[in-house]
Structure 1
Amino acid sequence: MIHEVDEGLRLLLVEAGLQESGVDLVFEAPTKDWAARRNAPTVSVFLHGIREDATRRRTGTAEEHDEEGTVVGWRTPPRWFELTYLVTAWTNRPQDEHRLLSEVLRCLVRSSALPARTLTGSLAELGLTVEIEAAGSGADRQSTADVWSALGGELKAAIDLRVWAPLEGERTSAGPPVTEGLVVRAAPAQDGEGAEPGRRLRYDGASDPGEQGFAAERERQLPPGRRRRGSAAR
């Protein structure tokens, strides 16, 4: 799922015309060594945080059917995860970096979700909305200064980007449907010796149980010499 979110963000930024203007789009960590090797205007979309959104967790399973309506398996609900990216622009001049970062920000804030045309793989199959939020507020997030400190680089202007994406649930396959009746065998002993050939029950010509089915009350025959409770003796 993570690589599919990366691809969705890449397609979104490509549609904005970044690569047509000669800008490289990468998903590498903007470390000091990486910055020294850079030789072209670059936009870095660095993933540095992954955590589950527990408020969206669901339980249970859902049936999966084939074209004929037969159950072929069960799947657990998807689990949602919040992916946090650090988006930065790299050029030889701060003014150019800010201009490039403005174009990226304009592209990211146009929509609150990744367009369906940018979704691939399991994200496209699930058909769920992949929400995005650029430069939003949130006191519970990791500090940008802490991220730069971990990368070993100097603090610079960056866009904090969050994406909420579903991870496809686990699937359990169903066995083939039962097409044969129950086989009943009778044996005179518990060890099965002398068992007669089995008889397959096909339920042909079964009687109609009525509107209430087999839950309806039925008259029970008593053994000879017994009477019902509450009835007068003869």
Structure 2
Amino acid sequence: MIHEVDEGLRRLLAESGLEASGVEVVFDAPTRDWAARRSAPTVCVFLYDIREDHVRRGSGAGEVFDADGFVVARRTPPRWFELTYLVTAWASRPQDEHRLLSQVLTCLVNTDTLPPRLLTGTLAELGLLVDVDAGGTGKDAPAASDVWSALGGELKPSLGLRVKAPLAGLSTVTAPPVTDGLVVRSVPHRSGTEPGAPGRAESGRERPSGEEDGARRLRYTQGGEPGPEGFGGPRERRAVPARRRRGERQP
């Protein structure tokens, strides 16, 4: 899920005009050594904090359907996580960095949720909203100054970005639907035979082809073999007789 959020943010910033301007969007840690190697204008979106939103934790399980409407799996509810990013702009002059950061800020504050067209993988499959909140960090997230101290770099203008995204639950594959017909088998016996001893079917009864002694197929008027689609496939039905009206004699 995390890499899918990264890809959604990269596409969002690219559509804002950064890609057309030749600005690269990366997700590296802005350490001192990394900053020394940068030569082209860059927007760095660094993920530094991940926390679960316990308020939105659900229970129960949902069903996953195939194209024909059959249940193929059951999935536990998704769990929501808050991802906190540190967004910075890198260029040769501070004025250029401020211009890039202003362009990024304009794009993010006008985006409440990532558009569905930018989502990939499980985020696109779930079809849930991915919230975007620019200009702030979570109450439990580390401060920006602490992040810069941990990275060993110099403090510079940065933008806090929070994204709330769902993590897909675990899926359990279900058994395929039953398509075989139900067959009841019995062992007929004639009077005078011992209980439990196998008998013979009545001599006057003609046994259908493919049917064993004492076998009777339920819910089907014909005991033929199943077709290529099993007993659940389409089959011919006889016309329903017309219903008689009250007081009308049967011819």
Q: Give the TM-score of the pair, scaled to structure 2.
A: 0.71
- The aligned amino acid for 2:72 is V
CA pair 185-36 structure 1, distance change in 2 beyond 3 A: farther
CA pair 33-183 structure 1, distance change in 2 beyond 3 A: farther
CA pair 195-108 structure 1, distance change in 2 beyond 3 A: farther
CA distance in 1, matches of 2:62, 2:214: 36
CA distance in 2, matches of 1:195, 1:154: 94
CA distance in 2, matches of 1:100, 1:195: 92
1:119 positional shift? 0.9
Stretches of structure 1 that go unaligned for 5 or more consecutive residues are 187-193, 206-234
- Whether the 8 Å CA contact 2:184–2:218 is kept in 1: the answer is no
1:202 positional shift? 5.1
> What is the aligned partner in structure 2 of residue 227 from structure 1?
none
CA pair 68-116 structure 1, distance change in 2 beyond 3 A: closer
- Whether the 8 Å CA contact 2:84–2:138 is kept in 1: the answer is no
CA distance in 1, matches of 2:5, 2:90: 22
CA distance in 1, matches of 2:197, 2:10: 70
> What is the aligned partner in structure 1 of residue 169 from structure 2?
169
Runs of 4+ aligned structure 1 residues displaced above 3 Å come to 180-186, 194-205
CA pair 16-114 structure 1, distance change in 2 beyond 3 A: same
CA pair 172-110 structure 1, distance change in 2 beyond 3 A: same
> What is the aligned partner in structure 1 of residue 121 from structure 2?
121
Alignment root-mean-square deviation, CA: 2.4
> What is the aligned partner in structure 2 of residue 181 from structure 1?
182
> What is the aligned partner in structure 1 of residue 100 from structure 2?
100
Alignment of 1:70-109 (within 5 A): 70-109=70-109
> What is the aligned partner in structure 1 of residue 155 from structure 2?
155
CA pair 16-202 structure 1, distance change in 2 beyond 3 A: same
- The aligned amino acid for 1:55 is V
Identity percentage of aligned residues:
62
CA distance in 1, matches of 2:32, 2:197: 81
- Whether the 8 Å CA contact 1:76–1:171 is kept in 2: the answer is yes
Q: Which moved more, 1:18-27 or 1:157-166?
A: 18-27
CA pair 141-200 structure 1, distance change in 2 beyond 3 A: farther
CA pair 141-176 structure 1, distance change in 2 beyond 3 A: same
